[in-house]
């Protein structure tokens, strides 16, 4: 079950933290960076869940690849947010480190699933 996966649990924490920090972004960014950052973070977790619901390991891997791309999007959005001074360096470090952790978990999980493909 996806709720038992550490990568799911960490991604859920990330989404919550992203929503909290981005709620402080300027109103002018609601349909810009705020929206993109939130969408990318949510995409990570939703693709983990959607992939797990598929009947095929190959399909699951495809969804995990999409999650992996989305976590990298989150990282770049965080860098832009730091550059624009929407977040401070401490917030950036905390969130970027969590992204790195999710990236590593996704990579490891993908590697484990690949071993199950005949």
For 34-50, what is each residue's pLDDT tens digit?
999 999 999 999 999 99
Residue 118 pLDDT? 64
For 60-93, what is each residue's pLDDT tens digit?
999 999 999 999 999 999 999 999 999 999 999 9
Domain 2-114 in CATH 1.20.1440.60? The answer is yes
Domain ranges for the chain, please list them: 2-114
Query: And the tokens for 6?
Result: 């550490």
Annotate 10-70 with three-state secondary structure: HHHHHHHHHHHHHCCCCHHHCCCHHHHHHHHHHHHHHHHHHHHCCCCHHHHHHHHHHHHHH
Work out the mean pLDDT of the chain and round it to a whole number. 96
Whether the pLDDT of residue 28 is over 90: the answer is yes
Other CB atoms within 10 A of residue 73 CB? 17
Query: And the tokens for 25?
Result: 């972004």
Q: Which of 21-25, 33-37, 53-57, 95-99 has the lowest mean pLDDT?
A: 53-57
Is residue 14 within 8 Å of 44, Cβ to Cβ? yes
Query: And the tokens for 45?
Result: 């977790």
């Amino acid at each position: 079950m996806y709720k038992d996966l550490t990568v799911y649990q960490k991604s859920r924490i990330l989404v919550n933290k992203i929503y909290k920090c981005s709620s402080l972004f300027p109103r002018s960014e609601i349909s810009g960076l705020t929206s993109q950052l939130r969408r990318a973070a949510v995409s990570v977790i939703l693709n983990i869940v959607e992939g797990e619901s598929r009947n095929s390991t190959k399909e699951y891997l495809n969804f995990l690849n999409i999650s992996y791309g989305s976590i990298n999007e989150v990282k770049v959005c965080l860098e832009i947010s730091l550059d624009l001074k929407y977040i401070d360096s401490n917030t950036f470090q905390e969130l970027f480190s969590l992204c790195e952790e999710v990236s590593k978990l996704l990579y490891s999980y993908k590697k484990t699933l690949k071993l199950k493909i005949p």
